[in-house]
Structure 1
Amino acid sequence: MSFVSAQELTGDRHLDITAETCPMTFVRTRLALDRMASGETLLVRLRGEEPRRNIPRTATEQGHAVLGEAEAADGIVLLLLRKG
């Protein structure tokens, strides 16, 4: 996983879960990944330490790749995933 600037991250699809709390953060992320084709990328906007730790770990456990992570000035974290 690489840490890059927020401006450098783009994805085929986008998901904003900044208003969600665990476990709904990964439920929404998993549903989005389930609707995608293998190899497509998903840019997830999230907030908070728990989803920042849990989403990359759980996505990796399910066979997806974490391509990058960036933190914006407002505390929002951008996480780029590729569907496995």
Structure 2
Amino acid sequence: MAERPSDRQLDLCGTPCPLNFIRCRLTLETMNPGECLQVDLDPGEPEEMVVPGLRRDGHRVDVERRSDVQVRLMVICAGE
């Protein structure tokens, strides 16, 4: 994925499920279609729960593995 600047950022490392998904969703509800939200998450269950949930909501989600302990999502807001 080409590096693009994000409009908003969330650092949710250490945030448990489903709170991390809820925070992503609430932030995206305040954003305009086409804006980019950068989300840093723990790998494993947080990634497995958040990515499909955001895609089900219609957002484009690109996943970048930053290290063994961090995953970065670049989420393009779909709007309503």
Question: Do the structures match in fold with TM over 0.5?
Answer: yes
Distance 2:67 2:51 in 1: 21
1:22 maps onto 2:17 in alignment: yes
Aligned residue among 12, 29, 47 for 2:7 = 12
Code of the residue aligned with 1:27 in structure 2: it is I
RMSD of the TM alignment (CA)? 1.7
1:69 maps onto 2:69 in alignment: no
Count of aligned pairs:
78
Aligned residue among 69, 78, 81 for 2:75 = 81
Code of the residue aligned with 2:71 in structure 1: it is V
Q: TM-score scaled to structure 1, two decimals?
A: 0.82
Residue 60 of structure 1 is matched in structure 2 by 55
Distance 2:11 2:24 in 1: 9
Q: TM-score scaled to structure 2, two decimals?
A: 0.85
| Percent of residue pairs identical | 33
Runs of 4+ off more than 3 Å: none
Q: Which has the higher contact order (CA 8 A, sep 6+)?
A: 1
Give unpaired runs (5+ residues) of structure 1: none
Contact 1:71 1:78 in 2 (8 A): yes
